[in-house]
Each structure stands twice: as structure tokens, then as C-alpha cells.
Structure 1
Amino acid sequence: MRADISESNKLAGRALPSKRLLCSEPLGWQSMLARTYRDPDVTDEFTTVASSELTLVVALSGTMQIESRKGRGWHRANYRPGSAGLTAPGNVSVLRWKSTSPYPLESLHLHLPVDEYWAFDSLLLEDPLVAAAGNALKRALQQSAPEYYAESITQMLVAHLMYTANNKPAVEPLAMGRSGLDQVTEYMRAHLSEDIRLDELAALVSVSKYHFLRMFTRATGQTPHRYLTELRMARAAEMLRDNDKTVLQVAIACGYRSPGQFAAAFRRRYGVSPTEFRNFG
């Protein structure tokens, strides 16, 4: 598979509010254009540049809440390492995002040739194969891998995406409304030290807890419990950096009554204990 790297693809990166780190052009890859970026923690609304190829963006590190505007409404998703987004050839996206973790945001942007008409975009694609391919291509860029390696991954990715296109995840609107979702998430942030029940969150937007669970998960890509855990872990990391409070005080402030439970949750999220994070973070 061979593809000319169009001028529009070369210009696409200039519309991004991000710093380019690695690029496949000096390596002579012809099957795809691949670039990695260090992304800012927060962005204002901006519009991407249309590409003549399928654009696949894979999150490499950090977590963020990203929004895409369609007409007058915004659609929202939560990205973690391995999350991806698709933009069809010729389409543009209006985006904004904000980081939800203390770790830097890095992403891989791929421009892939598709032989068939590709008509849809996807704000959030959670696919283990795409995530693995993203990490492999990052290493390939770092190690100056040859064209045949990039070409083999290009063929695999395009075939996989075309095969799964009929099962693409739909980008759903914010069913409870932007203001309702913001009200819920702000309530979570304000009560991180407390036991927050599903029914009290549902009461904020006047729906049953079962309907709320479906709406919240559809709008954010996470269950309320997982979203709340992410908020608590981000707050814990922030507090541990300040060194003003003990680990026990941080645990209690983030809603954990047991230091062991807090330490286990923190290690699952960051890969180190709270004490190790404080000492080396």
C-alpha cells in the first residue's frame, strides 16, 4: 500500500494547539503520515484542517475530557491512554478539551489511506487493537523503524477499521443536557470527601437512578462510580504534591475511610503508592 502525503495532511498539524514531538516524514514512510504531539492541558475551541485521508488520533498518555461541536450542540467523551477518535476524509472537527489528570497529555495522529468511501466520524473509539497499534507506532517513530514496518501496520489498521465500521460506536448527545451534566459533575467535585449515592445524583437532574446511570454513561463514556473515582484520584494527586497533609488526611478528604482502600485505588490508577508518588512525583 502506497500513499502520497498530501499538502493538506502536512498542514493539518498547524491547526492544532499542540507541540509536535515526532514525525514520520524524515523516516521516509509513504504508507501513512504519523506524528506525536504534546497536548496542552486546556484548550479553547478550535477547528481542525480537513485531511484527504482518514485521520485517526490515539491518546498515548494522560486523561482528558474532550468535546466536539456538531451544529449548536456539543458531544463529550473521556479519553484515557488507548482511546481514539476518527475523522473521515474531507471532514473537519470543532474541538476543545481539558486534562483530568496530573500527567502530561500526549497523542498520536495518523493519516491513513482508505480505498473505499468513508462517511462517518467517531469522537470516541475504545478498541484494544487500535490502542496497541498506537503504542507500537510511537515506538516505531522513536526507533526510526523502516517503511515496511509502517506499511504492515497501516494495512492492518485500515483493514480492521473497515471491517468494524458497521459496528462503530455512536456519538450520543448529552441526553440530560449540558447544564444538567455540569451540575452533577460539580456536585461530585464539591462532595469528594462524602459517600455519594447514585440516587442523590439522579435527583439533581430529576430522573430515576437507572435512567441517570444510562444517560451519564452515554454522555461521559464512564459510569458515575468510575468518573467519581477519577475525580478523587486527581484530587488526591494534587493534595499529595502539596505535602501539607498526611496520607490519611488525603484519603479522608477524597472519600476513603480506609488507608488501605485508598492506597489500593491510588496504585491501580497511578502505578505507585501515595507515599511513593509524594516522594518521587
Structure 2
Amino acid sequence: MNMSAYSSFTQWYREGKQASYIRSRKSPGGILELIEAARPGGDMSRPAQPDLVLHQDLSGGSRIRGNSGGGFFDVKSRKGYLGLDAPDFATTMSVDSPHRLRSLSFPVAQWQSALDEASNSGASVKNLLLFKGSFESHAIRSALRNLWALCDEEGVPSRLLARAAGFVILAELCQLNGTPFTSAKGGLAPWAERRCLELMHARLSEDISLDELAAEARLSPYHFGRMFKQSVGVPPRVYLTRLRVEKACDLLEQTNLPITQIALEVGYSSNQVLARVFLKHMRMSPSDYRRAVRDPVRSYTLR
């Protein structure tokens, strides 16, 4: 293990010579770090950092040689395929041609205790057997695609989204490793469901985390997410989005608050973010909705 001046993969990327290659970066509260980069061919080695890093090749067709923690490999990359870098390991890597990739880093300190609770087999991100080149997983590709799309929708990704998406990806990595997570059985106890829904209503404007909701139900975050969906019918993030849209509708109909203020009242960072969410769920902009509910006859005539 090599000592590094950088405390995380993202810091190394952002502050090192690779910074100019970054095309997009999304950072939900230090739980997950997402980077999209367009890089020339050449050396991709990096010093050791305490992060598990998942890469997805968006281009394909490059020859990749190196060691990411599981021994030397020499592979031809394919579009959409995945690679995994071990935490606390100084990777050596070279790529023979320009390429685009997305990288998702998991700070181990944020995730290991949750992994311990989610797996009876003592899964550890340091003991995965996937640090050896590229591999395929339709489940992880789908999770990454959905995560990126939701990050674009929300602007700054919520802690609830980051934690839930991270568990989906880590659960699949452990499944591929032969150390699957234990399954949640049944839904939430009635008292736990009631307290969690009350908490979500009360803190609608805040970036509430999956860990806080799980603590309210006295469950591990991983099991809470599964049990919440069994009880309520949708994941916590989806339920919270519904609450926010419903509250935004009430405020648009019953108040003269500016849309920017309404966005903040329901937990979104700007009126642009609220507009994207609103358009997706209500099929119209907040301004059009306000006009429609306040003057439905004129709104219908103008169509």
C-alpha cells in the first residue's frame, strides 16, 4: 500500500493533472462520487486511496493493461463493460487510445458498516474477486444509467438517492463475488412505517438520508429500503418525490409564493430542478400548472 497526498479518488482526479479531462461531476454528500471524463490514451495509474472505484467504459475498443488490485491483466475493452479498482491499492494502468468513462467511487468508511449489517457472510469491499480487468453486469449497467439520469434530474443528487443506488450496485457486486446480501423478509412494523412517513412529511424540505429513516425504524439501511418498498409499494426516494410534487401542487394552487421559493420549500435547490421533476411527473411546468388550476376555463380554451 502506497501513501498518497489525496484522501479520495475524486480529490485526486479533481486536483491532479487529470482535472482537465473531467466533463461532469456529481457529488451527493460524500456518500458516492460520480465523474464522467474524456481521456487521451496513455497512463491511467493512480496512488492508493481508501475508495472502491467502479468504472464504466463508454467508448470501447481500447487495449487496457495493468493491475487494479487483483493481478496483472491485458484486455480489449468493450463499450459498457465495467472495471473495479481495489481500495488502498496503487493501481497501474495504461490505455492505448482515447476513451470516455464514468467512474463511481465508494468511500469505504461510509459503506463497510452497512455492508456488515446487510450480509451475514461478512462481505467486504476489500475482498471482492473482481479487481482483474473488465466484467459485464446488466444489473449494474442499468443502475448506473438510472443513477446518472436521476442525478441530472435532481441537480445535486440527494443522500437518499445516493445511498439507495449504492446498495443496489454493491449488492450486485457481492452477488457476482459469491457473497450475496441477505434478503429482507416482510415489510415494516406498523409503528415503524408510521414514524418514517411522519418524518418524511415533517422534513420535506431537507436532504433526509436513508440512514436517518432506517434509524427511525431501528433497522439497517439496506434492509430498511427493501422493507419500506414491501410496505409502501415504492422505494423511499420515489415516495419522497411524490410527497414533494404533491406539496408543490398545493403551494402553486393555494399561495402566491414565487416558484423558486416553492422549490426550496419542497426540498429542491432551484426552480429549474423543480421544473424538471414537475414536468416528468405532472407533464407540465409549475407555471402552467398554476395557471391551469387557477383559471381552468381559460387554460382549456388556450389549448
Could you say which structure has the larger radius of gyration?
A: 2
Q: Whose relative contact order is higher, 1 or 2, with alpha carbons under 8 Å and at least 6 apart?
A: 1
Higher fraction of helix: 2
State TM-score, norm by structure 1.
0.47
TM value normalised by structure 2: 0.44
